[in-house]
Amino acid sequence: MAEEMVEGVNPTRMELLKLKDRVNLAVKGHKLLKEKRDALIMEFFSILDRAKGVRENVEKKLGKSFEDLIAAQAIMGDFAVGKAAMSVQESLDIEVDTRSVMGVTVPVIEYKNIKKSMIQRGYGLVDTSAKLDEASCGFEEAIALILELSEVEMTVKLLAGEIESTKRRVNALEHIMIPRLQNTVKYIEMRLEEMERENFVRLKIIKQAMEE
C-alpha cells in the first residue's frame, strides 16, 4: 500500500466498523463545512459591496475638514481653536452591538446625535471664525463615516479570517483525512479477505490430509 493510512490500526472487523463510522462522520462534516464556507463567501461579497468607496469617502471628508481646521487655526490662532474645541459638548450616542454570521461575531454600530447645530456645539460664537463652524461640521460628518468604515472593515477582516480557517479545514478533510480513512478501510477489507482465503486453503489441506 503506497497510499497513506491511519496509523496503528489492527485489521479486525471491529476496527473496520469503527473506521467506517469515522469515514461517514468525516464526509458529513466535510459537507457541512463546505456549505459554511460557501455561505461565508456569499456574505463576504455582499459586505465587500458595502465597503466599496467608504474609505475614499472618509479620506475626502477628513481632508476637507482638516483644511477648514487649518484655516480656522490661521485666522483665530492655535490656542483659541484648542479652547473652542475643549468646550464642545459631547452628544454622541453610539451603541456597538454584535451579530452573528455563521458563527462569526461581527460588530454592528448604531449612532445618533452626531450632527449638531451651531448653538449646541457649546463654544462662543462671537470670537470664533466661520471656518471653525465649517470644520466642526466636517468633522461631525467625518465621524459618522468613520463609524461606518470601522464596522465594515472589521466585518471584512473577521469574515476573511473565518473563511480562511474554514477553507483550510475543508481542504484538510477533503485531501487528507477522508482519503486516509478510506485507504485504511480498503486495507482492512483486503486483509480480512486474504485471511479468509488462507483459512479456506488451510481447511482444504487438512481435509486432504485426513482423506489420505
Partner 1 sequence: MNSVDSTLSKSSIAIVADSDTVTGFRLGGIKEVHAIEDMEGAKKIIKDLTDQGFSIIITTEKIGDGIREFIDRITKNRTLPIIVEVPDKTGPIKRATDPIKELVKRAIGIETVK
Q: Which range binds partner 1 by CB under 8 A, 6-14, 158-166, 177-185, 186-194?
A: 158-166
Q: In this chain, which of 25, 42, 154, 205 binds partner 1, going by CB under 8 A?
A: 154
Question: Which three cell numbers mark 62?
Answer: 477628513
Q: How far apart are the first and last CA of the chain?
A: 40
Question: Which three cell numbers mark 98?
Answer: 454584535
Q: What beta strand segments (E) does the chain contain? A: 93-101, 104-112
Residue type, 51: A
Q: In this chain, which of 69, 177, 181, 188 binds partner 1, going by CB under 8 A?
A: 69
Q: In this chain, which of 16, 33, 159, 177 binds partner 1, going by CB under 8 A?
A: 159
Chain-centroid distance of CA 79 in Å reads: 45
Closest C-alpha among 181, 211, 212 to residue 3: 181
Query: What is the rounded distance in angstroms from the CA atom of residue 19 to the CA atom of residue 14?
Result: 9
Per CB under 8 A, 118 contacts partner 1: no
Per CB under 8 A, 76 contacts partner 1: no
What residue ranges bind partner 1 (CB under 8 A)? 41, 44, 48, 51-52, 55, 58-59, 62-63, 65-66, 69-70, 81-82, 84-86, 88-94, 96, 98, 105-107, 109, 114, 116, 121, 132, 135-136, 139-140, 142-143, 146-147, 149-151, 153-154, 156-161, 163-164, 167
